[in-house]
Structure 1
Amino acid sequence: MFESLVVVLGVALAAQLSPGPDMMLIFRHTTTSLRAGMACILGICLGFTFHVTLSVAGLAVLIRTSPVLFNTIRYAGAAYILYVGIRCLTGNSGLTFDANQRSSAPFGQAFRDGLFCNLLNPKVTLFVLSVFSQLLAPETPTGIRALFGLALIVEAIVVWTLFSMLLDRPAFRTRYERFQNPISRGCGVVLCGLAVLMVAG
């Protein structure tokens, strides 16, 4: 169980560190003010909690009602993780800071931006569902799945908060802009490798 948890958190971390809508929104708000960045993170994590809850409940229903559909989602999930990895390898993150646009958004606006950006992105549910269906056995109790989901939520809060706090420092922001593409490539390699192992296993 511990090994599975480490892998689940590792896959989620690689996905978090790869450029996507959430990261771009956090980047934009944090570079206006740390307070706006934290409000955005709060909204994103609330939306993520909804996706995790939906994934845990959905998997429980699928396992009980249709093992064939569960296996179909399992292989489709591996394909989706591979797609995310390839996108990280071939894409350009393009996150840059413009000092001329440093005007802080209101707390409520930043919160809503984060909430709806994550909540209205069906790929988040697909990703969580993919990871759970690949790395947790069908007979895993729903309570254990819920604990894994809680661990994902806590990880998201910690990682995004640390990222935002570091991004508020000009020295880190400059280095991040310089190395963001190699970081994205590294995350892509990890995700592609895990997708291949999932199918092979």
Structure 2
Amino acid sequence: MSVAADLIAFTLAASLLTITPGLDTALVLRTLAAHGPAQAFKTACGIALGCLAWGIIVAAGLGAVLAASHLAYEVLHWVGASYLLYLGIKLILTPRRHGIEASTETNPSGSRAWMRGFLTNILNPKVGIFYVSFLPQFIPPHADVPVMVVLLACIHVLLGLAWFALLISAAGRLLPLLQRPPVVAAMDRLTGFVFLAFGLKLALSERP
């Protein structure tokens, strides 16, 4: 296959993976409900930055080290699982009780919004393993592997940002409902259970 054909095939495959609901979607929607579209998009940018960071790590060869080293994988594995479990328990036990207007003064800064998205991805070794196992399928023979890995990661990042922008825009029409205090609390608890589920799944899963 040519480079163009590989890029098209990857874009189609990555698009399907991007729109599949998961942890990132739950985090963005929860941020939208609690703090509005601007903060939700900053969270999405943090998620995208985490993906790009993993792409660079894999391109640099560290992803292969992660795949080969049991100790390196286990350390990141448990750090990531602990972070997700911490966020999940916190959201379940102390959900927000106010809408956007009531939380203007306590709205998280942009740095906190994107950092939460970034940490959710960068502390998940499954993302690194996914890139190590998935991206090489779309790299043609004799291509510059590091350049192609970063290019594919950038395509994945752009697809993710486009999807989240569309999702935030569509869900934003429901913002008057999403910002009601009972709904904000329910979204926090729901997101907390999603985080717990993913944290437990990560903690109990065997290395791929």
Alignment root-mean-square deviation, CA: 3.8
- Deviation per CA, 1:31-87: give whole Å up to 9, x if none: xxxxxx56x666665565444322432354331445343442232112211112112
Of 181, 196, 201, which aligns to 2:200?
196
For structure 1, the 5+ residue unaligned runs are 27-36, 102-112
Paired residue for 1:31? none
What TM-score do you get using the length of structure 1 for normalisation? Answer: 0.62
SS in 2 for 1:18: helix
Paired residue for 2:191? 187
Q: 1:117 to 1:155 in 2, by over 3 A?
A: same
- Deviation per CA, 1:90-147: give whole Å up to 9, x if none: 1221333559x9xxxxxxxxxxx99x7048853332212234x225444332366555
SS in 1 for 2:123: helix
* Aligned amino acid, residue 84 of structure 1: L
Equivalent-residue separation in structure 2 for 1:173 and 1:120 (angstroms): 18
How far is the alpha carbon of 1:24 from its aligned partner? 4.5
Q: Does 1:53 align with 2:65?
A: no
For structure 2, the 5+ residue unaligned runs are 1-12, 136-148
Report the count of equivalent residues.
169
Equivalent-residue separation in structure 2 for 1:7 and 1:198 (angstroms): 21
Equivalent-residue separation in structure 1 for 2:155 and 2:59 (angstroms): 14
Of 78, 84, 92, which aligns to 2:95?
92
Percent same amino acid at aligned positions? 14
Equivalent-residue separation in structure 2 for 1:5 and 1:16 (angstroms): 16
